[in-house]
Amino acid sequence: MTNRITRRQFTTGAVATAAASIGLTRAEAQNFGGNELIEAAKKEGRIVYYTADFTEPEQVIIKEFNKRFPFVKVEMVRAPGGQLITRIKTEAAAGKLLADVVNHSDRGLMLGIKDVFQDYAPPNAKDYRDDVQVAPQLWPKTTLGWSIAYNTELEKNPPRTWMDLCKPEYGPKKIGQVVAPSGGTTWTRIMFERQVLGEDYWKKQAATQPILYPSGAPTSDAMVRGECSIAVLLYNIAYIKKKDGAPVDIIFPSDGVPLNYYAAGVTKASANPNAAKLFLNWNMSDEGQAFHIKELGYLTALKNPPFNPPGYDPKVVKPWSPKFEEYVKLRDQWIEEWNKTYGYRQ
């Protein structure tokens, strides 16, 4: 009998050493895909990440990911939804798709390019809701919920429900709204308004003469600055402002919270598939999702959330998500109707 170390023993030892060097226990490493994946990711050392989410929260996520896995350099390309899809389609068709990981807010558009993605499932796949995936390889890394935010310096009697937003006392030009054609996230809210709040909701709400903004970000900025005192906003956008100390408070309306699930996956063209999977695995893990909720005000598609943001109790606020077939089928017609009702020129 000799004391020679076999290749297998050597690899196992090296991986264990690698895991230990970044402070992971074996169980923790398994949560993120296991030691072998971590070691392979370390060798690749980088990923290119395409996202439709905003730069700032994404940078915060990357920074946190790098606390766990400092050896994976995440190079990010951020673009609005429509532009990102065009870029992906064109790059893929030309055989030059640079992205390892894609994260997009519009599941309808992502379904259209599902063949770009390879088979992938996070280690905790079974912990996720089944109804939010549009394709087996696309996962709800990011979950957003709509809320009502207001400037606490200007608004002492804020609306508590969506129906409150139809009251004349909140007009004219006091409410900031994101226009319906702005993208998949807003389209979810528009569907909710019509299907849950009633067919005449838009008409009643438009009567308050809200200020229309092209997207959520300028709306939140306008609300903080006092251009409008109330804003219909994604919770995470307002949450960051509040967390930083801005004069902002946020309410999850009791008559329902429309939810939008992103779709994220690893591309077939990925040059760094292990690092890509590790990045998504960490994001999809309990640890990653808890960070999303606590630091950035996202929600989660986990069946059992680690916790919820303040004011979000799914039993009270009635979370709502669209039926996917309707999400695709109704869009054009309803958005056109919304544009007419709100006098928005498209």
Partner 1 sequence: MTAETAALVAPRETARRIPLGWLWSAALLVLLTFLVIYPVSMLLLGALTNTNPVVDGFGVLDISLSNFITVLGNPNVHFALANSLIACGGGTALAVIIGLTFSWVVVRTDTPCKRFIAAASMIPLFVPPLVAAVAWSILASPKTGLLNTIIKWAGIDFHFNAYSMEGMIAIFGIYYAPYVYMFTASALRNMDPALEEAAEVSGASAVRILFTVTFPLIAPAILSGMLLSFIVMLGIYGIPAVLGAPSDIPVLTTYIFKLTNWSPPLYSTAASVAIILMIVTGFLVFLQQKVVSGRSYITVAGKAFRPGVMKLGAWRYFTFALAVIYLVVVVVLPTLALIVAGFRKFLFIRDVHALFDLNAYSLIHFQRLFENPLAMRSIWNTMEVGLITALFGGVLAFSIGYTVNRTQATGRRAIDVISTLPIAIPGLVIGVAYLWAWIGLPGGLYGTIWILALAFIARFMPDTIKAMSTSLLQIHKELEEAAWICGKGLIGTIRTIVLPLARPGVIAGMTLLFILAIRELGSSLFLYTSNTMVMAVLLLDYYEGGNVGITSAFSLVQTALLAVLIGIAHFLSRGGASARVGGTS
Q: Is 218 in the site for partner 1 (CB under 8 A)?
A: yes
Q: Is 345 in the site for partner 1 (CB under 8 A)?
A: yes
Burial of 170 (0-12, 13-18, 19+ CB in 10 A): buried
Q: Is 108 in the site for partner 1 (CB under 8 A)?
A: yes
Q: Is 75 in the site for partner 1 (CB under 8 A)?
A: yes
CA distance 251 to 268: 41
Least gap, CB of 184 to partner 1 (angstroms): 5
CA distance 309 to 317: 12
Confirm if 262 and 272 have CB atoms less than 8 A apart: no
> Which of helix, strand or coil describes residue 266?
strand
Pick out residues in 225-264 that bind partner 1 (CB under 8 A).
225-227, 237, 241, 244-247
The correct pick among 33, 122, 159, 184 for binding partner 1 (CB under 8 A) is: 184
Least gap, CB of 103 to partner 1 (angstroms): 14
Please give the single-letter amino acid code of residue 213.
Y
Pairing relationship of beta strands 73-78 and 46-51 according to DSSP bridges: parallel
Q: Is 172 in the site for partner 1 (CB under 8 A)?
A: no
- The residues with which 110 forms a beta bridge, in sequence order, are none
Q: Is 326 in the site for partner 1 (CB under 8 A)?
A: no
Least gap, CB of 114 to partner 1 (angstroms): 15
Q: Is 217 in the site for partner 1 (CB under 8 A)?
A: yes
What beta strand segments (E) does 53-128 contain?
73-78, 101-104
CA distance 149 to 26: 43
- Which region, judged by CB under 8 A, interacts with partner 1, from 106-114, 158-166, 191-199, 296-304? 106-114
Least gap, CB of 326 to partner 1 (angstroms): 15
Cβ contacts of residue 126 below 8 Å, gap of 6+? Answer: none
Task: Using CB under 8 A, count the residues that bind partner 1.
Answer: 65
Cβ contacts of residue 156 below 8 Å, gap of 6+? Answer: none
Q: Is 216 in the site for partner 1 (CB under 8 A)?
A: yes
Contacting positions for partner 1 (CB under 8 A): 48-49, 54-56, 59, 63, 75-83, 85-87, 89-94, 96, 98, 106, 108-109, 112, 151, 153, 181-184, 187, 211-222, 224-227, 237, 241, 244-247, 331, 343-346
